[in-house]
Every structure is written in structure tokens, then in C-alpha cells.
A and B are shown apart, each in its own frame.
Chain A
Amino acid sequence: MAAATGGGGAVGAALRDASIAGLIALGLSIFMIGLRTEATAGGLTIATRWPAVALVGVVVFGGRLLMNLFVWQSAQRATARAARPAKATRSVPWLGKAFGIAMLALAVALPVLLPQLMPDKNRYVLDLGILVLTYVMLGWGLNIVVGLAGLLDLGYVAFYAVGAYSYALLALNFDLSFWACLPLAGLLAATWGVVLGFPVLRLRGDYLAIVTLAFGEIIRVVLLNWFTVTGGPDGLSRIPRPSFFGLEFDRSDAGFAAFFGLEFSPMHRIVFLYYLILALAMLTFVVTNRLRRLPVGRAWEALREDEIACRSLGLNTTTTKLSAFSIGAMFGGFAGAFFATRQGFISPESFTFIESAVILAIVVLGGLGSQIGVVIAALVMIGGFEVFRNLEEYRMLVFGVSMVLIMIWKPRGLISRRVPTVFLKERKAIDASMVAQGEGH
């Protein structure tokens, strides 16, 4: 490779570059890895770990050298390829649809297939499926705000929290059933969306982002400190589990198993919860898709592309933004109510900024505005996170690193083709770089 591009000069440059990288890695790790402060009886002491530092230096040097010699040389040619204007390829409209239908079929069949395929891991996989579906639903909800309306919301978890606490408080204090609380939780979350959204939607772009982040934190701090209502850091426990149209999932004679003449199994509830979140997620999907075809949905996408043009054409930007914000919030509220009934216990711990960041990462990594992309990203991020479970403390580190790497690899997200909702004569996909997203005009 080096010989082809100019002999020793390239190798020398690669060596020099790798040495610099190795030295920087040494500089970064010499204190943070090499010296570890340990709390002992007499105050802090230092433990040294020089071999680890040397290892980091050598690994970075070697890795950089190999990348320089073998990967980035060819990558330069790839860059030249990419620099050519992208062709407007004819889209394959059935591909995304077929994939979506296959995923849905798999999701529906999963609880039936699992006991046959892996009986010992049945419960674990279903729990994971519930978790992934919850994030898919949250991702689809946030997608309305960020992907369709183009408003960057860093405090989405606030609505998730409102939904969860609404359900928990209504169920605990007024003895309402899950099915009565679910719409109320969504309604309350949507109301909060309007209340928070009304003052801040005049802001643009990053200002909006930081104020939504602030509101997310405010809601968390209030939940943490309003002991009399929310239980403070202890949270709320013994939240009622959902029932199957009035049939509880218990051993009693009036329970679900007895009613259908089945043998009691704790799996019934898990399977029911799984189908419940699947149904809720599909509701989000269908409603979003229908809304996109309504005037309000078109207004969202127009607003995302150019706010000034929208205003010139007589669109009321405030109500358009508010509707996106509150509908997104409503789905967050539904997901929150589901979360509360699934866990049976909620505390402010579950609603930190990192949750908002993870949801946003799923939406952006999937490709803003792409609903299939959200599914893939949720599977990769949340499923992958579980795969690395045995790495324990390294798990979050791997999560962060993969977030950075996927973004550098595909800045526009995994699915970076868009099919516009409105088109002239011919339906064709365009590159995502032609679409304004999350700019928050």
C-alpha cells in the first residue's frame, strides 16, 4: 500500500503520525490511569498503574499506525468517491415497507416463538423486548418533535416522567384502573407540553434545546423534593399492575388464568405487557403516519424546512409548533404510564437527563424523521447495551463510544434516505442532507 503511494515517505509520515498519537495517549492517561487516588484511613493515597499507561500508549500507537498504513490510505479514495454529487437514485419503496412488516410480524410472533426456541431465556428476552419497544415508542414520540417539526427537545424525559407520575398518583390516590388512567396520563403530559411549550417556542434552535433541558431538570428536581405528593427520592411504590379487561393476573379464582382455564403462570403478565407496549407503539406509529398526511403534519414539515416561508404563507407557527410539542408529549406520557405499571415502582432516578439523551440519540442515530431508523437504532443501542451486560462497569463506556463512532460513520443516521410526504409527479427518495432537521427555526 505504502509502496504504491510513494515509498518510504508515506511510511515515515505514518510512523510520525502514530508516534504523535501515542504520545498524546500517554499524556492523556499518565494521570488519569497511571495514578489512582484511593481513599484510606489517613486521607487519599496514590496507587500507580504504569503498565496500563504503557499499554494504552502502545495500543494507540499500533492502532494508529495500522489505520494509517492500511485503512485511511484507501479511505482517501473513498472520500474522493463521496465528493462526487450523489445521484438521485430511484427509491425502492417496497423495501422499507417489507422490512417494517417483517419486523412487525417478528414482534407479534415473538412471545409465541420464544418458548419453543429458547425456553430457559424466555422471560429475559421478553423483558428486553418490552424495554426495546418502550424506547421505540419514545423514539417515535420524540421523532414528531425533532424529526418532523424540527424542534430540538432535550427534555423529553419530562413528559415521560409526567405520564408515569400521573398514572401512579391517579391509581394510588383515586383507585382508577390503568385503562382509565392511560388517556388521562397522555392528556396531562400533553397539557404540560402546552404549558412548557407556550413560552419557549418563540426561541430558536439551541436556545430551545437548553430551555427544554432546563425544564426537564426542573420537573425532576420538583419530583425529588415534593415529598408529600411524590415521595421524594423514595419514589412511589406498589403501583397497581394492569388488568386484562378487569381480570387480574393472579392466582385467584377471578384471575386471568382461572377465567380462561389456564394454569397460572407469571409469564402471562409479561406477555400481556409485551403486547400492550407493542400496541401502544403501533398506535404512535399509525397516528404519526396519518398525521403526516393531514394539513397539520404537512405544516410541521414545512415549518422544519423554512419558518419564514411558512409565516409568509399564513401558517400559524405557534399553534403548529405547539401541536407537535404536545402530541409528542402525549406519546411520552403514554409510555410513562406504561413504564409505571410495568415497574410497579417509580422514582426520579429513572428520569434523568441521560434518558433524554438516550432517546434523542436513538432518534438521531436512526436517521431523523425515519421511523424504521428509530426501530433499528433502538435495537442496536438498547439491545447492544444488554449484550454487553457482562462487561458491567465498561458498559456505559462502550455505549458512549459507539454513540460517537456511529455518528462519525453515518452523521445523517443509519437510514439516511427520505421519501417526502408531498411530491410532484414522481415519488423518489432524496438524501437526508437535503432535509433540514432539528434546526429549530
Chain B
Amino acid sequence: MEYFLQQLINGITLGSIYGLIAIGYTMVYGIIGMINFAHGDVFMVGSFISLIVFVALGLSAASGIGSVALGILAALLVSMLLTSVWGWTIERIAYRPLRGSFRLAPLITAIGMSIVLQNFVQISQGARVKPLEPLVSGGYAIMGTGASLVQVSNMQILIVVVTVVLMIGFTMLISKTSLGRAQRACEQDRRMAALLGIDVDRTISLTFVMGAALAAVAGTMFVLYYGVIDFFIGFVAGVKAFTAAVLGGIGSLPGAMLGGLLIGLIETFWSGYFTVEYKDVAAFSILAIVLIFMPSGLLGRPEIEKV
């Protein structure tokens, strides 16, 4: 029981990170119907920018809680800002010229962009893994003692709280603001939205900006939680997050979050109870099974075939 609870806590933490990345995939897919393969690498860029901020500020666990909190806030803001610029630029360079072209063209440029980003970071920041000493330490014991201790660390609390706050803010943004309305309108019918005076190009750009900003938050949390990153983390995280988006029903925001949580939980429980090596196999098999029996995912709209 204690073990189960501990795995549940770990799984929710991991799932939150996947969920934040998955939103970027699901929004882009919803609005222009393409798999943004470079999104995982945008997440990686975000984590690098945060890492650089932490090192530049000279933060360490001994800096005191106030300065650590301020430092994390600064890293989040800087990383969200700069990663958004990355997301915007990628859309502008690689996807916008191909809008309206046939479907595989942007997929290939997305794979190309992913290769570019990985190798750019490998060259500019070096190929070796970057370790960061833990900035947020400590935690609470919930129950049990000794070997069967269930704890939740401050870092895990931070990740879940940040994710929940962002999700609430983001849902408000999509459902209440004019930007959110424009975004949903473009998702339903881009041409009609353009006829009604919505700047479709701007809306799509902003979608990429929002996705990149959320990926930057995920990247910041990732570097704080795991304390080690390299230029290749984007691929695995990206594939998992995309799996999460598809699992939840691509195009659906709550679906992306739910899918992220599920993938995080599946992975953690599989590693906890069976073998660590095959955790990816478990996550992907679940994906295949869900898609075969529920082709539109858990919360997705069923696809209507028009003849």
C-alpha cells in the first residue's frame, strides 16, 4: 500500500510534466492538423535556458529559500519568453511557407527542425550531460516509517502546483479571452474564421507561442526534478508527450492533461512493479491498444467521415 502510494505520487509528478508538453502537441494538431515533431526539442531548449539562468544566477541549495524561489521564478519567466521566441521562429521558418501544401511536407520540415535543434544545442552547449545540483530539497513524510515511508518532496509539490495553476490559467485563456475564442474558431474552420475577420496567421503563431511557453515550464520543472539534462532529452519526452496527447484524444486540452497523467502513471507503475527496461514498451502498447479500440482517444471527438 505504501509502495503503491509512493509510486502514485511519482507518477503524478512525471505525468504533469508530460501533460504540459502534450498541450503544445494537441493545440498545434487541433489548429493546423500537423504533428509538430520539433516540439519535444523546444522543450529541451526550454530546459537548457532555465539551466543557464540557474547557473548564471549562481543559485545553490544554500542560497536560502527566498532567493531560490525568486531564481526559479526568474528562470521560468526568462525561459518561457525565450522559448516562445523559438517556437514562433520555428513556425515562421519551417511551417508557415508550407501551409496549404500537402500534409507530409510540414511533417518532414518538422523532423528536419528537430534534427536542427538537437544538433544546434549539441554544438552550442556541448554534447555532455549537464548536471545541476538540487535547488529544492526536503519534503514531507505522509505515512509509514523506515522502508515503507511514503514521502512527497517539495519539488513534487512545486511541480504539481505549478501545473495545476497553469492549467487553470490556460483553460481560462482558451475559454474566456478573445484570443482563446479566435483559437477555437480557427480550430473549427480556418477559412470561415478568416472571413469573420480573425487574423489566422497571428492566431496560429500565438498557438505555437503558447505551446512553447508551456513546454518551457515543463523544461524548467524537468531540470529541477531530475537535475540532469542533455541535448537528446527532447526526443523521448516528445514521443511520450505526443503519445499522451493521442491517448487523451488529440485536439482536446483536458485530454492532453489526462493522457499525460496516464502515461506518467503507466510508466511509473510499470517500472515500480515490473521492469524498468520495458517501461516504454508498456506506454506504447497502451497507446496502440487504446487507439485500436477507441480510435479517437479517451476524450477526443469522434472523426466524422465526409463523403
Contact = CB atoms under 8 A, between A and B. Distances in A.
B108 A360 contact: yes
Contact of A221 (B29, B78, B277): B277
A401 to B, nearest CB: 6
B269 interface: no
Nearest to B98: A411
A152 interface: yes
A214 B284 contact: yes
B210 to A, nearest CB: 18
Interface in B102-139: 102-105, 107-109, 111-116, 118-126, 128, 130-133
A151 B52 CA distance: 42
B85 interface: yes
B122 A393 contact: yes
Interface stretch (B66-74, B89-97, B172-180): B89-97
B288 A403 contact: no
A203 B295 contact: yes
Contact of B113 (A209, A361, A400): A400
Consensus secondary structure, chain A interface: helix
A437 B119 CA distance: 30
Interface in A18-55: 24, 27-28, 30-33, 35-39, 43-46
B246 A207 contact: yes
Interface-centre pick from B130, B235, B277 (highest chain A CB count, 10 A)? B277
B235 A361 contact: no
A217 B280 contact: yes
B285 to A, nearest CB: 7
Contacts of B303: 204
Nearest to A308: B307
Interface in A319-371: 353-354, 357, 360-361, 364-365, 368
B35 A437 contact: no
A354 B239 CA distance: 13
Query: For the complex, would chain B's binding face be called helix, strand, loop or mixed by DSSP majority?
Result: helix
Given A35-B56, A217-B239, A365 B278 contact: no
- Among A43, A206, A215, A368, the most chain B Cβ lie within 10 Å of the Cβ of A206
A32 B151 CA distance: 36
A393 B295 contact: no
Contacts of A354: 115
B295 A207 contact: yes
A113 interface: no
Q: How large is the interface on B (under 10, 10 to 19, 20 to 34, 35 or more residues)?
A: 35 or more
B104 A152 contact: yes
B295 A204 contact: yes
A316 to B, nearest CB: 18
Contacts of B261: none
A44 B57 CA distance: 12
B82 A361 contact: no
B116 A217 contact: no
A186 interface: no
Interface in B34-49: 35, 45, 48-49
B126 A411 contact: no
A439 interface: yes
Contacts of A360: 108, 111
Contacts of B45: 32
Contacts of B243: 210, 214
A214 B292 contact: no
Contact of A211 (B55, B94, B277, B291): B291
Contacts of B295: 202-204, 207
11 contacts: A28-B89, A37-B126, A203-B292, A206-B250, A209-B107, A364-B108, A403-B111, A403-B112, A404-B113, A411-B102, A433-B102
Interface of B: 29, 33, 35, 45, 48-49, 51-53, 55-56, 60, 78, 82, 85-86, 89, 93-94, 97-98, 101-105, 107-109, 111-116, 118-126, 128, 130-133, 235, 239, 242-243, 246, 250, 275, 277-278, 280-281, 284-285, 287-288, 291-292, 295, 303, 305, 307
In order of increasing CB-CB distance, the 8 nearest A-B pairs are A400-B115, A403-B112, A214-B284, A400-B116, A404-B112, A411-B105, A411-B101, A397-B119
